[in-house]
Amino acid sequence: MRAGDALPVELPDAVREAVLAPLVDHHCHGVRRDDLTRALFETLITEADLPAPPGTTHFDTPAGLAVRRWCAPLLGLDPHVPPAVYLARRAELGAAEVNRRLLREAGIVAFLVDTGINGSCLLSAAEMGRLGGAAADEIVRTEQVEQAVAASTASGVSYISDLNDNLAAKAARAVGFTSVVAHPHGLDFDPARPSRGAVIAAANRRLADPQDRLADPVLLRHLLWAVVDVARERSLPLQFHTGYGAPGLDPHRADPTLMTGFIRATQPIGVPLVLMHCHPFHRQAAHLATVFPHVYVDVGLVPAHTAAGAAAVVGELLELVPFHKQLFGSDGHGVAETCYLGALYYRRGLAGALAVRLAAGEWSVPDAARVAHMIGSGNARRIYHL
């Protein structure tokens, strides 16, 4: 069953086709190429990085029930099979076959893959595309570029030029940048471009211990501004992880409105800024996407994680954000189930919202179909120049 065959409502043909049309997944990660233990599989269907408490399981989550409901049939099982049955069948088929089935059935026409958390155990962008029967492009994780520069450059002065050169070199082979400044620092960073002197001094300190994850606020800001410069030259968007995320994050510092100053400062430059996930700040992000012409939003991994409750979140984004500012991105990572469920619940949520609007006589059929195409692929094609 294709993701789109599981729409929860009747829709006019044109709208149904628009919802089922192949999606551009503008932000996902590679999935594991190897067979997984139950413990590892469980942590990959949640944002937690530890096992569930004794006597409980991460399968007892909205996403866990969704895996059993929607992914099981793709492995030839009945819906709702117990976790152990699902995982046994998964092992029997092998990771390659499971990945192939789930990625292909997600109905994706292009994967834009954040390669920042790479490793030989994860599929590359090209492999994601090949298995999923889709095109694939790379999104450059800016912190990864910085890490490589910090590990190889000679001085604070060369740090600046090497960072520029490396960002430009990466940009030549990629369709966008992504930043995780929310995680080591928070989005409440000083929006001003730091002075060259301050950057050199901070870089010299950083070179004393270049293996550490970048945490210096001056260098984080410098990195963002260096990326903005390169992105402007290349007409590439810059993505930000915001809101819902891993336990290392301080959630109250991941509210995207905390970076309103930076958004305002970059507005004349015109580089598209994409606020990702955002939950529970997606209505705050909606405000930004509404008033700033270069701000875009998605709800990322949230549909897959809220699963049976995804319609509410998808609906809350549709409530205010201009339709030319919304994107589909699964933020799938680790296991192909997250990519598949991301596409499925995005489509189910959107289908439900469109059906309500059509039934209430609010939107015309052509408008509903057009909005579905814009969010599902058109906006991504435009800003990523696909």
Smallest gap from residue 209 Cβ to a copy of itself (A): 23
215 binds a copy of itself (CB under 8 A): no
Q: Looking at beta carbons only, is 175 or 200 nearer to a copy of itself?
A: 175
Query: According to CB under 8 A, which residues from 138 to 157 bind a copy of itself?
Result: none
Query: According to CB under 8 A, which residues from 223 to 252 bind a copy of itself?
Result: 244, 246-247, 250-252
Q: Which two tokens stand for residue 146?
A: 């910085």
Find the part of the chain contacting a copy of itself (CB under 8 A) among 101-109, 219-227, 230-238, 260-268. Answer: 260-268
292 binds a copy of itself (CB under 8 A): yes
Rounded to whole angstroms, how far apart are CA atoms 68 and 72?
Answer: 5
Smallest gap from residue 313 Cβ to a copy of itself (A): 7
Q: How many C-beta neighbours within 10 Å does residue 100 have?
A: 17
Give which of 256, 246, 294, 311 is closest to 278, Cα–Cα. 256
Smallest gap from residue 364 Cβ to a copy of itself (A): 4
261 binds a copy of itself (CB under 8 A): yes
Rounded to whole angstroms, how far apart are CA atoms 162 and 231?
Answer: 16
φ and ψ of 177, to 5 deg:
-115, 160
> What does the per-residue mask of binding to a copy of itself show for 45-84, with x meaning CB under 8 A?
-xxxxxxxx-xxxx-xxx--xx--x---------xx----
Contact 102, 67 (CB under 8 A): no
Q: How far is CA 100 from CA 32, 106, 122, in A?
A: 12, 10, 14
Query: According to CB under 8 A, which residues from 356 to 375 bind a copy of itself?
Result: 356-357, 360-364, 367, 371, 374
Give which of 289, 316, 319 is closest to 379, Cα–Cα. 289
Q: Looking at beta carbons only, is 130 or 324 nearer to a copy of itself?
A: 324
H helices of the chain, in order, are: 13-20, 38-44, 62-66, 83-93, 95-105, 125-132, 142-152, 156-172, 196-207, 217-234, 260-266, 282-291, 302-306, 310-318, 336-359, 365-373, 379-384
Number of residues that bind a copy of itself (CB under 8 A): 74
Q: Looking at beta carbons only, is 146 or 337 nearer to a copy of itself?
A: 337
38 binds a copy of itself (CB under 8 A): no
Find the part of the chain contacting a copy of itself (CB under 8 A) among 121-129, 217-225, 230-238, 353-361. Answer: 353-361
Q: Looking at beta carbons only, is 94 or 293 nearer to a copy of itself?
A: 293
Dihedral sign computed on CA atoms, order 239, 245, 250, 252: positive
Q: What is the DSSP string of 226-266?
A: HHHHHHHHHT--EEEEESS--TTS-GGG--GGGGHHHHHHH
Q: Residues, the chain, total?
A: 386
> What does the per-residue mask of binding to a copy of itself show for 303-342, with x meaning CB under 8 A?
--xxxxxx-xx-xx-xxx-xxx------------------
Q: Looking at beta carbons only, is 202 or 310 nearer to a copy of itself?
A: 310
Query: According to CB under 8 A, which residues from 84 to 103 bind a copy of itself?
Result: none
Smallest gap from residue 78 Cβ to a copy of itself (A): 10
Q: Looking at beta carbons only, is 156 or 376 nearer to a copy of itself?
A: 376
Rounded to whole angstroms, how far apart are CA atoms 78 and 325?
Answer: 38
260 binds a copy of itself (CB under 8 A): yes
Selected binder of a copy of itself within 205, 213, 382, 385 (CB under 8 A): 382
